Every structure is written in structure tokens, then in C-alpha cells.
Amino acid sequence: MNITNYLNSVDLAPALPAEEAQAVAQEVGQLTGADIYKRSLTATQNALLCLGRQKSEKKLVCLSAGSGLAGQFEGEIQRLNLAGVDLECIVAPTSSKNGEALRRLLPFLAAQPQGLRKSAGCGDRLGLATPGHIRAIRHFNLAPILAQQSIRENTRTGRTPQEVMDDAMWGVFQEGMAGLARRVQQWEDQLAKNSRNRGKPPSSDGFKKARSRSLRKPSGKKSWGQPGHQGHTLKAVAEPEHIEIHPLSQCQHCHRSLADVCTTGYDRRQVFDLPPVRLEVTEHRAEIKTCPGCGQVNWADFPAEVNQPVQYGPRLKSQAVYFNPYHFIPLERTSEILADLYGQPVADGTMIAAGQSLAAQVAPVNVRGKAYLIATAEPVHFDETGTAVTGRLQWMHGARTGLVTYLAVHPKRAGKRWMRSAFCPSGGVNRSTTITPPTSNTPTATTGCVMPTTSAG
């Protein structure tokens, strides 16, 4: 690629591929006698700017196609003719004044507030390591904090705050920070895209749901219960289960003994609390008898629900099902709750088996509920919402009327068509789709279930 072609950019041009940048750097080096840092090549306003090294000093190189841009820097201007194009060339020192002029041309070289962006502090103490720091973070979505130095360090290194800022800027220019800035901005733009601001389906949002803005307005009412609200305050009962007498042994005024004085009344206070709870073990013993007539040994039958040498009873298993599938409490936490309440942790397999047993018992209800939704003339409303199943995004689909709600989990959002085909086998026209508020609950089963429809929908 020829330098003159590179000078056609009016706005800030994108970075060149590595091979093209190397060729341009060699061509500029032949014109100026400097070793050019290829990543610093920057084209803007019909000029080529870059950083090079002459002997042991870094130099700012500017080639402009008659735009007068080179005149903004302090240094000796040379006039060249390359392939019939008149060029102004300047090889200028990396001074504070030239740095200020360069920042006006390339705003990305100026220090910028980072706000809440992810950043990494580098702390270049001598102003020599900034290019290496930039190369280290180039492939990460991080904003580097380059100029980090205290007044005490300035004194020890003999550098002024302006020199610290200038050294960081020249390092940024040398490593082509414009390309990195574009890449970081592209990453941030990509992360900011969702179904609300781009033509993307809601399923692509995953679990990162955009925060919704509430449409609720202040009611002007005070906090706590409102006038006419029916409270639920505890009320004393006439027949408590336990009574504790607190005796009075002496007069609180003169300290005379009251041990033999009859009680004239009681001041009553009632405490509502749970009784101490512990697991009770019931041992079932099936009789063994030998027939005196024939000598046959006989064993009595155990109840049908007692089928293991040691097992949990139906009350404990029903509580496990109540906590886990109904209240969406994970198995590990459910086991922890049972251990805290009753001193007995329950294994995951036991709780899963209890849930499956309950599912088998309510299966006829689910069948009847689904049959009702298929046969009813009432409009059936379909909707879905994302939910987590074993750590993966799946979809909770629902079909409901004013009486019955049927819920089922499907791996894909397109399962709505599966739901409709299941409840509209004849292609009926009495079905409609409405949007209902999504739930934040997370199911732990992937089978369908029927429940009474509540006013909350």
C-alpha cells in the first residue's frame, strides 16, 4: 500500500492489517530516516501521523498532503514530492507542546474518565513501560489506568505530573490505542444489545433481563395499615394449652413475706409459640406365629406404606415436597431446613422419590384438568416465561382459564406451538393469546401440572 493512498482519509482511519502496516512503516522510515512503530500509524485529516525512533530518541513524524497540518507541530518542516504528490514532512520531538497539539488532532489520546467501566491500574513509574502494559491488556475488555504516580514518586524520579501524563500519552500513541479503544467500544456495544434496543428475540437475553421501569405512581398514602384494613393481630385464647404461674414471695414496698397470703387475682399475658419438635420413631412389629395344627410358620402383613426396614414417614416426606417443588427451595437447602428443624438431614434421592410419588398420585387430576382445557368453550390463554432448569434457560409454558391453569416446562420457547397443538387438537378458534405477568419462581420439575387459577393469574 502506498503512502499517498493512506493520506486520503479525512476522518480517523481504521488500523491497517499487520502486513500493510509494516510496508507503510518501512516506506515512511526510508523518507525520514527513523524506525517507525507500525502500530502508531494513524491517518486523519489528509495526514499521516506516527511515532518513530532516531538513534536513542523517540520522534513524532507527520506527513501531510498540503493540508498544513505539519505546521501545528514545533520542528523543521521538509517539503517532499512522492509519486507526483507534494508532501510536508516534519520529524518533531516528543515535547509537551507537540503532545498538546497531537491530543487536539487525536482526542482518544486525552485522559478520559472511566466511570464504572472495568479497568486495570498499571502504574508506569518511569514512563517506559506503558507500551508493554497496553500490549498486555490489548485482548481483554479492560480500560488501562496508565498515569499513576504520587507526588512522593515524582520527587524521587524527578518527573513532573505533566511529564507523567505526556509519557503515558506517547505510549498510547506508540501502541495504536485508537484500535484498542474501538475494540473496547465494540465489546461494550455488543454487551449492551438486547431484545429491547435491537431486533433480537427475548430468548437471547438469557438470564440478564433488562430492568423494567415501574409504571406505578405514588399513592400519597402513609405507610403501614390503611383505614378500614382488616388486621391480623394475635388475640388471647380462653383455654391455653399450658399455664405457668409466676409466684410473688414478698411485698415490693415493705419487703414483708407474702408466701402465706392468698392470691387475689392474676395479670395475664399469652405467648404463642411452637412446641419442641423432634422426630418420633414408630416401630412396626409383624407377629410371627406357628400353627399348632400343621406346624406352618406365619408372618403378619405390614401396612402397604411400610415397605423398608428403615424409612421416613409420609409427614416428613410431604414437608420435603412442600419446601422443594412448591416453594422452589433447592434440595440442598431443603435438607438443611429439615436438619435444623428436626435434627435429621434428608438425602436428595429421598426427596426426589417423594416428589415423584406425589406426582404419580396427582396424575389423574392433571389428566382431568387438561381434558377440561381441551373441551371447554371458554377462551384458553397461552403464555410463556423463561426459567432455570438445572442451570439452563428453559421455558415455562402455561394454558389457563378462569378456573384451571396448566403449566409445563419445555426446552425451547417455540414450545408454545406444542402447547397450542396439545390443547387445540381440532384446530378450534376459541383460543386466544394474552400476555400475563411473568413469575420469578424457578421450577424443579419438567412435567406438566394443573392448579386452580387464582386472581393473580
* pLDDT tens for each residue of 194-203: 777 777 777 6
Residue 45 in domain? yes
Residues 129 and 39 placed together within one structural domain of the fold: no
Asked if 310 contacts 279 with a C-beta cutoff of 8 angstroms, the reply is no
Please check whether residue 271 lies inside any domain of the structure.
no
Contact 28, 36 (CB under 8 A): yes
Distance in angstroms (rounded) separating the CA atoms of residues 240 and 362: 38
8 Å CB contact between 236 and 243 = no
Domain presence at residue 386: yes
| Amino acid, single-letter form, for residue 208 | K
Q: What is the mean pLDDT of the chain?
A: 79
In a domain, 327, yes or no: no
Categorize the per-residue pLDDT at 4 as very low, low, confident or very high, splitting at 50, 70 and 90. low
Q: How many other CB atoms are there within 10 angstroms of residue 239's CB atom?
A: 5
The Cβ-side half-sphere exposure at 252, using a 13 Å CA radius, reads 2
416 and 386 within one domain: yes
Please indicate, yes or no, whether residues 400 and 431 belong to a single structural domain of this protein. Answer: yes
Q: Are residues 172 and 141 in the same domain?
A: yes
pLDDT of residue 432: 38
Position 456 scores a pLDDT of: 41
Q: How far apart are CA 16 and CA 173, in angstroms?
A: 15
Is 433 a domain residue? yes
Quick: pLDDT tens for 231-289: 778 889 999 999 999 999 999 999 999 989 999 999 999 999 988 888 999 999 999 99
Cα distance between residue 262 and residue 418, in whole Å: 79
Predicted pLDDT at 395: 86
Average pLDDT over residues 196-220: 70
Of 89-93, 164-168, 262-266, the one with minimum mean pLDDT is: 164-168
112 with 99, same domain: the answer is: no
pLDDT confidence band for 190 (50 / 70 / 90): low
Q: Which of 72, 89, 105 is at the close of a domain?
A: 105
Same domain for 7 and 101, yes or no, is yes
Say which residues have a Cβ less than 8 Å from residue 278's Cβ, sequence separation at least 6.
Answer: 342, 343
Tell me how far apart the alpha carbons of residues 50 and 70 are, in angstroms, rounded to a whole number.
12
Q: Domain for residue 33, yes or no? A: yes
Q: Quote the pLDDT of residue 15.
A: 65
Counting the structural domains of the chain, the total is: 3
Paired residues of 89 in beta bridges: 63, 78
Contact yes or no for 442/325 (Cβ under 8 A): no
Of 171-180, 349-358, 446-455, least confident by mean pLDDT is 446-455
What is this structure's pTM? Answer: 0.44
- The rounded distance, in Å, linking the Cα atoms of 7 and 45 is 8
Confidence of residue 447 (pLDDT cuts 50, 70, 90): very low
For residues 54 and 128, state if they share a domain.
Answer: no
Burial 173-183 (b: 16+ CB within 10 A, else e): bbbbbbbbeee
Last residue of a domain, one of 167, 192, 217: 192
- Shared domain check, 89 and 12: yes
pLDDT average, residue stretch 373-386: 86
Strand partners, 60: 51, 92
Better-predicted residue by pLDDT, 350 or 2: 350
Res. 452 pLDDT band, cuts 50 70 90: low
Statement: residue 442 has pLDDT above 70: no
More confident residue, 419 or 156: 156
Distances in Å between the alpha carbon of 143 and those of 121, 127, 138, 166, 416? 9, 18, 9, 18, 43
Question: What pLDDT, on the 0 to 100 scale, is given for residue 184?
Answer: 55
- How far apart, in whole angstroms, are the C-alpha atoms of residue 50 and residue 180? 16
pLDDT at 64 over 70: yes
> Which of 132, 158, 192 is the C-terminal boundary of a domain?
192
- Residue 235 belongs to a domain: no
Spatial distance between the Cα atoms of 391 and 218, rounded to a whole number of angstroms: 38
pLDDT band for position 435 (cuts 50, 70, 90) = very low
- The pLDDT tens digits of the residues spanning 287-342 come to 999 999 999 999 999 999 899 999 999 999 999 999 998 898 999 999 999 999 99
- Residue-range definition of the domain harbouring residue 8: 3-105
What pLDDT shows up at residue 349? Answer: 92
* CA 395/CA 385 separation, integer angstroms: 6
Of 37, 48, 53, 33, the C-alpha closest to 1 is 48
Q: Rounded distance, CA 110 to CA 77, Å?
A: 26
Averaged over 390-398, what is the pLDDT? 85
First to last CA, the chain: 67
Question: What is the predicted pLDDT for the residue at 7?
Answer: 67
Q: Determine contact, residues 7/88, Cβ cutoff 8 Å.
A: no
Q: Are residues 71 and 125 in the same domain?
A: no
What pLDDT, on the 0 to 100 scale, is given for residue 251? 92
Residue 8 has pLDDT above 80, yes or no: no
Averaged pLDDT for residues 362-375: 88
Residues 92 and 8 grouped into a single domain: yes
| 423 and 439 housed in the same domain | yes
Q: Report which of residues 348 and 391 the model is more confident about.
A: 348
User: Is 291 among the domain residues?
Assistant: no
State whether 65 and 145 are in the same domain: no
Q: How far apart are CA 140 and CA 45, in angstroms?
A: 30
